[in-house]
Structure 1
Amino acid sequence: MGLLDFLKTKKNTAHIAKERLRIIVAQERSGRGAPDYLPLLQRELLEVIRKYVSIDADAVKVDLAKDGDHDVLDISVALPDERPTSP
């Protein structure tokens, strides 16, 4: 019975590895379709916003989503809670 248990474990491990590989391949395929300009757009937006408000690099997120036949550019900016005091 020990040999059968060993072989069953291999099958479960192989199945888990196969599922993980599917996930990795799906992520790679989705990443290839993304435009090359998104990282540059994110950096430029960050530079412009920093002219007016002090924010971290993590505060600006740029993503491209699919909505039916259309591509939707999703831009999210997390602004700080601080408000400048008036003189």
Structure 2
Amino acid sequence: MSLLNKLEKIVHYFQPPQKTARVAKERLQIIIAHERQRDNPDYLTLMQKELLEVISKYVQINKDDIKIELDRKDGCSILELNIVLPASGVVA
């Protein structure tokens, strides 16, 4: 299953109002762990691009509306994902 397919499933979970943040967080952690094992240093840029493609299917969003940062602290990796969604929830 490609990263794009995994991310499409994550976006699907953003639609229902219950537990979406927790589910998305868990799935992103799995994706990051998988990508880290592949030793691909460019995966954050690729992930940002693919997130933009997937989210754009549901709402209008710009490239600058997605920020991904990966920090390492005390032997742990911390993924911070910020997505600015339109207030009106306009479907693209």
What is the TM-score when the length of structure 1 is the normalising length? Answer: 0.53
Q: Which runs of 5+ in 2 are unaligned?
A: 1-40
Kindly report the root-mean-square deviation, in angstroms, between the aligned alpha carbons of the 2 structures.
Answer: 1.2
Tell me which residue corresponds to 1:37.
Answer: 43
Structure-2 separation of matches of 1:79 and 1:67: 29
User: Which structure has the bigger radius of gyration?
Assistant: 1
Residue 50 (structure 1) shift: 0.4
**Distance verdict in 2 for CA 1:65–1:48, change over 3 Å:** same
Structure-2 separation of matches of 1:44 and 1:83: 20
**Distance verdict in 2 for CA 1:37–1:83, change over 3 Å:** closer
Aligned AA (1:80): P
Confirm or deny that 1:54 pairs with 2:60.
Answer: yes
Tell me the number of residue pairs that the alignment of Structure 1 and Structure 2 aligns: 50
What is the TM-score when the length of structure 2 is the normalising length? Answer: 0.50
Report runs of 4+ in structure 1 exceeding 2 Å deviation.
none
**Can you list the C-alpha shifts for 1:25-79, whole angstroms capped at 9, x where unaligned?**
xxxxxxxxxx321100000001000000101110111110123110111111000
Tell me which residue corresponds to 2:31.
Answer: none
* Residue 65 (structure 1) aligned to one of 62, 67, 71: 71
Q: Which runs of 5+ in 1 are unaligned?
A: 1-34
Which has the bigger relative contact order, CA under 8 A and spacing at least 6? Answer: 2
